[in-house]
Amino acid sequence: MEKITVVGSGYVGLVSGTCFADIGNRVICCDVDPFKIAMLRKGEIPIYEPGLKELVEKNIEAERLFFTSEIGDAIEASDIIYIAVGTPMGESGEADMRYVHEVARTIGQHLNRYKIIVNKSTVPVGTGRAVEQIIKENRKNRFVKFDVVSNPEFLREGSAIEDCMNMERAVIGATSDEAAKRIAELHAPFRTRIFQTNLESAEMIKYAANAFLATKISFINGIANVCERVGADVTAVSAGMGLDSRIGGKFLQAGIGYGGSCFPKDTFALSYIAEEAGFDFNLLKSVITANDEQRFVVVNKLREALGSLQGKRIGVLGLSFKPNTDDMRYAPSLTIIPELVNQGASVRAFDPIARQAARNQIAEYYEDFGSIEETLEDCDACLILTEWSEIVEMDLTRVKELLKAPVMVDGRNCFTTQKMADEGFNYYSVGRPAVTVGSIHAVESQTLSL
119-170 pLDDT, tens digit per residue, is 998 899 999 999 999 999 999 999 999 999 999 999 998 999 999 999 999 9
Residue 29 included in any domain: yes
Question: CB–CB of 50/86 below 8 Å?
Answer: no
Residues 147 and 31 in one domain: yes
Q: Binding site for substrate: residue ranges? A: 154-157, 206, 251-255, 259, 322
Distance CA 6, CA 403 (A): 50
Residues 283 and 399 in one domain: no
Give the per-residue pLDDT at 220. Answer: 98
The mean per-residue pLDDT over the stretch 96-112 comes to 97
In the predicted structure, residue 431 carries a pLDDT above the cut 90: yes
Give the per-residue pLDDT at 175. Answer: 93
Catalytic residue among 19, 30, 164, 262: 262
Looking at the chain, the whole-number percentage of residues with pLDDT higher than 90 is 91
Give the per-residue pLDDT at 43. Answer: 87
The mean per-residue pLDDT over the stretch 289-309 comes to 97
Q: Binding site for NAD(+): residue ranges? A: 31, 36, 87, 122, 157, 265, 329
Give the per-residue pLDDT at 439. Answer: 55
The mean per-residue pLDDT over the stretch 180-187 comes to 97
Task: Answer yes or no: 382 catalytic.
Answer: no
Residue 439 included in any domain: no
Q: Binding site: residue ranges? A: 31, 36, 87, 122, 154-157, 206, 251-255, 259, 265, 322, 329
In the predicted structure, residue 364 carries a pLDDT above the cut 80: yes
Residues 18 and 106 in one domain: yes
Residues 240 and 277 in one domain: yes
In the predicted structure, residue 252 carries a pLDDT above the cut 70: yes
Residues 304 and 242 in one domain: no
Give the per-residue pLDDT at 3. Answer: 98
Q: Among residues 414, 394, 398, which one has the least CA distance to residue 406? A: 398
Residue 445 included in any domain: no
| CATH number, domain with residue 211 | 1.10.1040.10
The mean per-residue pLDDT over the stretch 284-293 comes to 98
pLDDT tens track for 5-45: 999 999 999 999 999 999 999 999 999 999 999 999 998 99
Residues 188 and 109 in one domain: yes
Residue 435 included in any domain: no
Residues 119 and 69 in one domain: yes
Domain limits at 72?
Answer: 3-197
Residue 314 included in any domain: yes
Residues 355 and 263 in one domain: no
Residues 274 and 180 in one domain: no
CA distances from 35 to 43, 45, 52, 86, 385 (A): 13, 11, 19, 18, 33
Give the per-residue pLDDT at 449. Answer: 55
Give the per-residue pLDDT at 259. Answer: 95
Comparison of pLDDT for 112 and 445, the residue scoring more: 112
In the predicted structure, residue 443 carries a pLDDT above the cut 50: no
Chain centre to alpha carbon of residue 55? 21
Give the per-residue pLDDT at 442. Answer: 45
Residues 276 and 181 in one domain: no
Residue 113 included in any domain: yes
**Structural domain tally of the chain?**
3
| CATH number, domain with residue 330 | 3.40.50.720
In the predicted structure, residue 450 carries a pLDDT above the cut 80: no
The mean per-residue pLDDT over the stretch 223-238 comes to 97
The mean per-residue pLDDT over the stretch 61-65 comes to 97
In the predicted structure, residue 203 carries a pLDDT above the cut 60: yes
Residues 183 and 123 in one domain: yes
Give the per-residue pLDDT at 93. Answer: 87
In the predicted structure, residue 54 carries a pLDDT above the cut 60: yes
Band of residue 440 on the pLDDT scale cut at 50, 70, 90: very low
